[in-house]
Amino acid sequence: VAAKAVWENGEFRGKEYRFRFSNETSELEPLRKFIEFRFAQEAENFPDLILIDGGRSHLQAALKGLESFPNRKFTVISAVKPRGRHGEIAQFLSDSGRHIDFAGGNEAHRLLQTLRDEAHALSNEIHRQRREMSHYYELGAILPSIDEATRRALLKSAGSIKNIAELTEKD
């Protein structure tokens, strides 16, 4: 899941939240495509800053997505997590290659962490919702000719999608 969370004048702009799903196994290509798509759709509505949740490779993917916009006037930075501690930030990397160590006492750094945390939480929530609903979509693909209530009853009776797939015509 690639997600966009917008903050303006210190407030979250929920109506501007967007996300896209991808079937790719890498995070980088969906990130590149999402950024490219976002700016192709909203070419006149540029932000002051894009904050990417990830390291150097994530920053590079975002910058590749912006290659069609060489005259952009905004900065792109990434929030790099320390190994094994996904809720923290070790440093920021700028699109110019600058490394900035995270300082928890710095008000600007704490604001950036809040922005990163919010976007990360929104993306994770969408990912969880899709994962929890995926069996309904899978059932729809296996049994397209029956209604949802019948599918649910069949799933409850059979116990799993795998068991449904193994049912014979007689069953």
**For residue 126, what pLDDT is reported?**
73
Q: What is the pLDDT of residues 99-114, one digit of tens each?
A: 999 988 888 888 888 8
Q: Which residue has the higher pLDDT, 162 or 136?
A: 162
**For residue 135, what pLDDT is reported?**
59
What's the mean per-residue pLDDT of the chain? Answer: 80
Q: Among residues of the chain, what percentage have pLDDT more than 90?
A: 11
User: CA 8, CA 28: separation in Å to the nearest integer?
Assistant: 26
Q: What is the pLDDT of residues 42-97, one digit of tens each?
A: 767 788 888 888 889 999 999 999 998 877 888 899 988 888 887 778 899 998 88
List of residues 6+ apart from 46 with CB closer than 8 A = 39, 72, 73, 74
Q: Among residues of the chain, what percentage have pLDDT more than 70?
A: 84
From the CB of residue 35, how many other CB atoms can be counted at a distance below 10 Å?
23
Q: With bands split at pLDDT 50, 70 and 90, how would you rate the model's confidence at 134?
A: low
Give φ, ψ of 110 to 5 degrees. -65, -40
Looking at the predicted structure, is the pLDDT value of residue 123 above 90? no
Q: Which residue has the higher pLDDT, 100 or 136?
A: 100
Query: In one letter, which amino acid is 23?
Result: N
List of residues 6+ apart from 146 with CB closer than 8 A = 154
